[in-house]
């Protein structure tokens, strides 16, 4: 019976909300964006808007390419040439795809030069490298995490440590993965990525962009000064977060008696807007691109607008080995890790960060 009860229980979820102003010296918005490394979907919602400005549309359409490469040997990511070409000359991200974090071996290269390996017990032991048990593998450790600092490793390529890692990846336990790759840099041709990995199956991709207009949308009334909301005056941050998720799912928000799919309705107080613009970008999206988009949304209110706020929502890859910074991430039942900015017309903002059961509290 105890086991049955556990199966019926909803898994733990965490939502952290905070408020600040983009002009404050201690505002954390830039740091939070930059340290959420592996993003697959970015969405923004603008009430009382039917058409994007030229600046915003240009930014969305030029979010930048990413690449997929098949059967890439892991040792390629620790060579002196690779580190000097990509890791030291920009912000390089890599993530295995078509892998499940709770079942398969997965790898991520972070923009700070850390190579993170999440390996099953057999593979971990065969590599001969030092790591630690996964926090989410249960009492009997079946998953292990190895962290390698490529920047530190590159300082001495004749060291015993580098030779051991290189021997492990090349000879003792050669590992190959399908990777997604992205690189933020300045002053270097885009073709560098394609030419460097030309001997492997590499393809360039552009993020998919979906633009739509939501008609007659019931929107919660918000006050930037109060996360908790006020009865009959303004909705809370938690109520707004639930409502935004329903909008993204295209759920009906009127709680009609004949609707057997959703009984959800917009929290009160609310206001009807004639239209709202919704944009969704899907791909392998770098934090630097998201930060530029956030800044552009802040400038949306440089001229008077009918909209009291806009939102920017970012979702991470469910099977990434990390969520924020180098904090271990697990899948459990959903693998969610995401954040949302509510940008108000006075430059105040709410920041909402959500994770699932196999994550630390968001930073």
Separation between Cα atoms, residue 108 and residue 191, nearest integer Å: 22
Return the DSSP state at 103. Answer: T
Q: Which helix (H) or strand (E) holds 27?
A: none
SS3 state of residue 21 = strand
What DSSP state is assigned to residue 171?
I
Mention every residue, 6+ apart, whose C-beta is less than 8 A from residue 151: 83, 87, 88, 112, 113
CA neighbor of 50 nearest in space, from 361, 329, 233, 307: 307
- Cα angle for residues 75, 79, 80 (degrees, 5° grid): 170
pTM summary value? 0.90
Residue 149: partners with Cβ closer than 8 Å, 6 or more residues away: 113, 114, 115
CA separation for the pair 67, 65 (Å, rounded): 7
Residues 345, 334: Cα–Cα separation, whole Å: 34
pLDDT (tens place) for every residue of the chain, 363 residues total: 444 444 445 556 788 899 999 999 999 999 999 999 999 999 999 999 988 888 899 999 988 899 999 999 999 999 999 999 999 988 999 999 998 888 889 999 999 999 999 999 999 999 999 999 988 776 778 889 999 999 988 877 778 999 999 999 999 999 999 999 999 886 655 568 899 999 999 999 999 999 999 999 999 999 999 999 998 899 999 999 999 999 998 877 766 666 556 677 888 999 999 999 999 999 999 999 999 999 999 999 988 888 999 999 999 998 888 887 777 766 556 567 899 999 999 999 999 998 876 666 677
Q: Which residue(s) pair with 120 in the sheet?
A: 143
Structure tokens at 351: 């920041």
Which two tokens mark 318? 């469910």
């Amino acid at each position: 019976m105890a086991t049955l009860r556990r199966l019926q229980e909803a898994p733990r979820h965490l939502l952290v909300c905070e408020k600040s102003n983009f002009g404050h010296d201690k505002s954390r918005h830039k740091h939070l964006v930059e340290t959420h490394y592996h993003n697959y979907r970015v969405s923004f919602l603008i009430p009382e808007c039917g058409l994007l400005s030229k600046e915003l549309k240009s930014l969305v359409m030029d979010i930048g390419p990413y690449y997929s490469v098949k059967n890439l040997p892991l040792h390629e990511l620790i060579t002196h040439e690779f580190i000097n070409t990509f890791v030291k000359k920009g912000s390089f991200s890599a993530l295995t795809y078509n892998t499940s974090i709770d079942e398969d071996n997965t790898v991520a290269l972070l923009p700070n030069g850390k190579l993170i390996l999440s390996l099953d017990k057999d593979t971990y032991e065969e590599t001969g490298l030092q790591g630690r048990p996964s926090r989410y593998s249960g009492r009997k450790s079946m998953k292990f995490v190895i962290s390698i600092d490529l920047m530190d490793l590159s300082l001495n390529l004749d060291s015993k440590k580098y030779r051991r890692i290189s021997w492990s990846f090349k000879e003792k336990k050669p590992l190959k993965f399908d990777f997604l790759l992205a690189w933020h840099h300045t002053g270097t041709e885009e073709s560098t990525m394609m030419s460097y990995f030309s001997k492997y199956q590499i393809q360039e991709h552009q993020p998919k962009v979906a633009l739509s207009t939501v008609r007659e949308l019931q929107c919660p009334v918000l006050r930037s000064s109060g996360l908790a909301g006020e009865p009959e005056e303004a909705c809370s941050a938690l109520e707004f977060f639930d409502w935004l998720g329903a909008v993204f799912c295209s759920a009906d928000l009127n709680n009609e008696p004949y609707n057997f799919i959703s009984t959800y309705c917009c929290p009160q107080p609310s206001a009807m807007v004639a239209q709202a613009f919704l944009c969704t970008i899907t791909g392998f999206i770098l934090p630097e691109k998201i930060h530029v988009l956030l800044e552009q949304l802040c400038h949306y209110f440089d001229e008077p607008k009918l909209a009291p706020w806009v939102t920017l929502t970012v979702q991470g890859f469910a099977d990434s080995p990390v969520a924020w910074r180098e904090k271990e991430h697990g899948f459990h039942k959903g693998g969610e890790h995401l954040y949302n900015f509510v940008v108000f017309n006075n430059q105040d903002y709410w920041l909402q960060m959500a994770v699932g059961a196999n994550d630390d509290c968001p930073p």
